[in-house]
Structure 1
């Protein structure tokens, strides 16, 4: 990985750490959506903002014994999402897969950052952020994602979903100035949005 890319990743991590307390209020879909925004932009924004916390999580875990992969925590999150889906009339398998994708996308970012920092220790973070600020942001974006799954079910189940999702992903990537790593991770997080089971 080039030093330029590593430096950009580090800058994004520092930026994410600095704004983590603001994401929940300043960067919600309602604040960033435009009148002419693609119809799926709110859900893509919520997924991207959820994914932004992966930078902070990686920074907090770097140099500690905390693993990136936490199967017990993942099962807890997926079980909760499945139960929520049932309560809200959504297909639980579909919702569970969508949130499995969120977890995997977060791990893409964390593993990539660890690789950069391991290869170039001078770029590694030296300040550990407080992860207690991250969970409320993830929870808020989860609520937005679930609300959008309910509101956009017709489009999400239609042949128009894939082009609509592509338009929204491009718009969000441009609005949030996502680098190559975070564009790849965002695509990973969106794998199942247009593929509801059942």
Structure 2
């Protein structure tokens, strides 16, 4: 018996090592769920980064007396989102849905700053920013968000995913003037993202 145990020990150690490296067989449901939740957290972090530019955007619009709503710019953002989704094998309209919420959230933040400046005045010592310099930085986040969304197309299969992400969003998305409704919109849009293929979305979760 001792000899059998001794001979089997190297094999057992090898299997344990492979499991630690994630090389022994397919991912477990827990690992799949963690991957999708991590992808969603990344989307929320990038959304927070995107929203952090909105004070600057509003300042530029304030100086130029431009309206908050820019339908041509919004259409351009959504077209870029659809293209990014298609390139990554995601349903383009589900990716556009996330960016539609990003746009809605951005307008909420801009309106918040605009309302504050109407009441208290724009800071006298603050120069007006150049919107053409800011927009490329915002646009650079689009492919990053799309990359993270690739890891979320099974998220709706994860147990209590919405409740968990709403808690995460409250911690991560903290830009001034962001509301609970904005966070819910972002989370729900992320949960609607799907792959363009017809594979079973919950396989392995």
User: Could you tell me which residue of structure 1 aligns to residue 178 of structure 2?
Assistant: 182
Which whole-Å deviations, capped at 9, do the CAs of 1:1-59 have from their partners, x for residues lacking one?
A: xxxxxxxxxxxxxxxxxxxxxxxxxxxxxxxxxxxxx6232111001100111111001
1:185 and 1:119, CA in 2 relative to 1: closer, same or farther beyond 3 A? farther
Question: Which runs of 5 or more structure 2 residues have no equivalent in the other structure?
Answer: 1-36, 196-205
Per the alignment, residue 85 of structure 2 pairs with: 85
1-structure distance, mates of 2:167, 2:107: 25
**Aligned mates of 2:142, 2:159 — CA distance in 1:** 25
- 1:99-128, CA deviations, whole angstroms, 9 ceiling, x for partnerless residues? 111111101011111111112226577411
Q: Distance in 2 between matches of 1:74 and 1:86?
A: 19
CA RMSD of aligned residues (A): 2.6
Structure with max Cα Rg = 2
Distance 1:71 1:112, change over 3 A: same
- Partners of 1:167 and 1:113 in 2: how far apart? 25
2:27 aligns to what? none
**Structure 1 CA distance, aligned partners of 2:115 and 2:53?**
18
- 1: CA distance between counterparts of 2:119 and 2:189? 33
CA shift for structure 1 position 179: 5.8
State the match for 1:195 in structure 2.
192
CA-CA distance at 1:75 after TM superposition: 1.1
What residue in structure 2 maps to residue 120 of structure 1?
Answer: 120
SS in 1 for 2:191: coil
Q: Report Cα offsets for 1:125-171 as digits up to 9, x if no partner.
A: 74111224422331232222111110222225544321231232133
Q: Structure 1 runs of 4+ off > 6 angstroms?
A: none
Residue correspondences, number: 157
1:57 to 1:99, Cα distance in 2 relative to 1, 3 A: same
Unaligned 5+ residue runs, structure 1? Answer: 1-37
1:48-197 alignment, distance < 5 Å: 48-121=48-121, 126-173=126-173, 178=174, 181-184=177-180, 186-187=182-183, 188-196=185-193
SS in 1 for 2:111: helix
